[in-house]
Structure 1
Amino acid sequence: MTTDWLSACLLGLGKLFLHPLLYVSIAYCLFIGYLRVKRERRDFNTKIYRKSMELRALFPQGVIWGLILSFLTLASGIVIPLAALIIVAAVTMIAVLTMNRRFVSPVYTMGVTFFILFFLYDRDIQLPIFQDAFNQLNQSVYPTLVILIGFLLIAEGFLIVSNGSKKISPQLEVSKRGQPIGVYVSQRIWLIPMFVMIPGGELPAPFEWYPVFSIGEVYLSPIVVPFLIGFKQKVHGTLPEQAIRAHGKKVGALGFVITAFAVISNWYPLLAIITVVLALLGREFLHYSQKVSDAKLPFYFSKSKLGVQILGVIPQSPADKMGLVKGEIISKINGIVVREEEELYRALQINRAHCKLEVIGNNEQIRFVQRALFDGEHYELGILFVDDQLKESGQAG
């Protein structure tokens, strides 16, 4: 019995590499990276992060959450019909084609899947190739899908908090008053490979409570399915790390609430429909409330009377090695007051071998940073600024 289950799990793991979403997600991340680098070169005449940055964020934490959610779904005895998995994959493909990362959030892909299955249930609709899979649908699928929405929302919240604000590049825009400003847009795609049980096969339920949401003797098959989580958030009124982490915590809290309602819906099926609607409305509310609250704030990255504000720092550059970070303001260089980008470079050229910076930190405290400069580094510190005039291509320090 144990050997049969182990063999089935290994076979189910191998099916992950046959799933089209795995390869779609890789291509999608590479395309997002290409567009980002193109925009960085347009704004700053330089590449900030590699094109593969989004791809490298696709797997590591997603695999960890895949293991966590696999344990939760398997321990809970949740069984997902194959028809549901087919529709989720199709809906996710369509969401990817919209090129709007936030629509790849599981609350949208799984929510749409829920209502499609609700429409198809108990209807005489002929679907070639997948007809057998759809014939296995029953009402027990509804609470299982809602629980899965809750689990994936929790994972989304934690991923936003831990990874959503890492390595996001700035971009230049023009305010309604025609002033150049800096904004940050976080865009991420995470792939969560999860073990789920589907009806069918030759393996009996491993425990007495399996499956929780079905009636009668059911034979199961384990399979690893990739779920995509997309995220996009624009920030201009504060430091992006603060806004993105706060947003992620709210998404995670929504996930816990939806999971609690989903469990109760096992005994009250009508509550499953209400819960999915609440999940969709709740996620939309979080998105638009964050957007409105950020719009009410003054621009964080703009011209400063105190000095030259740092919009961003290129990794591994002299500025990065000096510990300079976004949002800080350089007020003096080698004792010379600087208010413009041109003044900053003129001050650097007075002493090309060494620079001492007076920096106003994000905590509004003054600190001093100094470093010996090698040949040419006074021209290429690696600091990104909000240019006085937003040109066709921006300028990198």
Structure 2
Amino acid sequence: MQIWLVELLKGTGKLFLHPVLYYLVFLSGILGVMRVKRERKNFHVRAQDAYFELRQLFPLGFILGLILSIIIIAAGVVVPFAAILFTAGLTILLSLTTNIRWMSPAYTVGTAFFAVVLFAQNNWTIPFFKKAFTSISDMVYPSIVFVLGLLVIAEGILILKNGTKGTSPKLAKSKRGQVIGVHEVKRLWMVPLFLLIPGEALQLPFDWWPVFHLGAERYSLVFVPFAIGFHQQIKGNLPPVAIERYGRQVITLGIMITLIAIAGYWYPIVSIIVAALAVIGRETLALMAYLKDDNRPFYFSKKNNGLMIIGIIPESPAEKMGLKVGEIITKINGISLKNEKTFYEALQKNRAHCKLDVLDTNGEIRFVQRVLFEGDHHELGILFVQDQRKYEKGA
């Protein structure tokens, strides 16, 4: 137990030596600044603050990482250190495409799997890391694919539980030149895993452990940060509906990958098929989500019966009144609404109190009202799809 505790502490310390940890913090900050800049350009005000993406980076990912680490260590899943090196390098390399969706473990870990197999078969090494390649032999490593399946499951859970939070409103032009609203989510998560690698500290506690082994007799623990990137733009549906459906599909793919990867214990060649399935399956899900959304009519567009809410500023009167994205405000203080100008004029007629007639996402009318205080947002903190002239002026 003392040896295991020391290894846990040493492995945890190695997390802070991993460049991906700091790189993800940097990228999350960049995403937040870019989002705020775009929102101010579209609406002259930002929705979430610039640190929102950074706050989403750790909490849920850490919890999932600890749960998956218990599964990995209990099952005795050992991975070559070369796979960790390749995954880190590919994470940084794919992020340079500026499409953070490519930072999904299906692409980073999946490609790292093929790189390890290729280097092992040709006895290639990387300068400064030759020692990492001395422990790999000419074989296929099903353990990498098993970890890949678990990470894809974690990705789906993060999309399902966290991807719907703070989606960013955005203005765009349709093919006919009309101003429409879309919602965009760009999110980075970090899932740190305790992994067993060939080392010198830990001996085999059981005859059957580890299950996915590399032929070594001693092992070490290392705490490795894995990046998960997610990007989706929704124009034909409510953001939570589209994102939650997408998350469930990714979870299903991850479960399939994990279950089939277990067969690699008996038939290592299956692991190659599974790694290819992970990459192709993940790309197929992204393409299906895009095509399905693209074929839908615009959800956030100008309506004849009122003003549709495309965004709510946090801590604003609108949020405290329980207004939701996708709802339509038909009247304010008894005055029917046609555009933002009439909304603002009707609100000014009674600055102490406002009563709204709201058509919710189910098509039912409800009434909300609130006393207004000095210092409250002059438009209640509601973001609308702007008219053509105002959009072009802002652009």
Q: Same fold (TM over 0.5)?
A: yes
CA distance in 2, matches of 1:183, 1:193: 32
SS of match in other structure, 2:265: coil
Question: Which residue in the other structure is 2:368 paired with?
Answer: 369
SS of match in other structure, 2:115: helix
Structure 1 runs of 4+ aligned residues shifted over 6 Å read: none
Question: Which residue in the other structure is 1:39 paired with?
Answer: 38
Question: Which residue in the other structure is 2:305 paired with?
Answer: 306
Percentage identity across paired residues of the two chains: 48
Q: Deviations over 1:238-260 (max 9, x none)?
A: 10000000000000000000101
Instruction: Give 1:140 deviation, angstroms.
Output: 5.7
Structure 2, unaligned stretches of length 5 or more? none
The verdict on how the C-alpha distance between 1:65 and 1:141 changes in structure 2, with shifts beyond 3 A counting, is: farther
Instruction: Give 1:128 deviation, angstroms.
Output: 2.4
Alignment of 1:169-188 (within 5 A): 169-188=168-187
Question: Which residue in the other structure is 1:393 paired with?
Answer: 394
SS of match in other structure, 2:237: coil
Question: Which residue in the other structure is 1:10 paired with?
Answer: 9
Q: Deviations over 1:246-275 (max 9, x none)?
A: 000000000000101100122112211111
Cα RMSD of the aligned pairs, angstroms, is 1.4
The verdict on how the C-alpha distance between 1:363 and 1:215 changes in structure 2, with shifts beyond 3 A counting, is: closer
Confirm or deny: 8 A CA contact 1:62 1:190 kept in the other structure. yes
> 2:118 aligned with 1:119, yes or no?
yes
The verdict on how the C-alpha distance between 1:215 and 1:377 changes in structure 2, with shifts beyond 3 A counting, is: closer
Aligned length: 393
Alignment of 1:285-296 (within 5 A): 285-296=284-295
> 2:268 aligned with 1:269, yes or no?
yes
Q: Deviations over 1:193-228 (max 9, x none)?
A: 110110021321233222212365510001100001
| One-letter amino acid of the counterpart of residue 218, structure 1 | E
CA distance in 2, matches of 1:193, 1:5: 18
CA distance in 2, matches of 1:207, 1:187: 44
| One-letter amino acid of the counterpart of residue 363, structure 2 | E
The verdict on how the C-alpha distance between 1:102 and 1:216 changes in structure 2, with shifts beyond 3 A counting, is: closer
| One-letter amino acid of the counterpart of residue 162, structure 2 | N
| One-letter amino acid of the counterpart of residue 113, structure 2 | F
Question: Which residue in the other structure is 2:254 paired with?
Answer: 255
Confirm or deny: 8 A CA contact 1:80 1:141 kept in the other structure. no
CA distance in 1, matches of 2:277, 2:257: 8
CA distance in 2, matches of 1:11, 1:376: 52
Question: Which residue in the other structure is 1:340 paired with?
Answer: 339
Confirm or deny: 8 A CA contact 2:79 2:141 kept in the other structure. no
Instruction: Give 1:277 deviation, angstroms.
Output: 1.0
Question: Which residue in the other structure is 1:104 paired with?
Answer: 103
SS of match in other structure, 2:144: helix
Question: Which residue in the other structure is 2:196 paired with?
Answer: 197
The verdict on how the C-alpha distance between 1:309 and 1:131 changes in structure 2, with shifts beyond 3 A counting, is: same
Normalising by structure 1, we get a TM-score of 0.96
CA distance in 2, matches of 1:344, 1:95: 45
Alignment of 1:204-243 (within 5 A): 204-214=203-213, 216=215, 218-243=217-242
Structure 1, unaligned stretches of length 5 or more? none
Q: Deviations over 1:335-371 (max 9, x none)?
A: 1111211111121122222111100001111000111
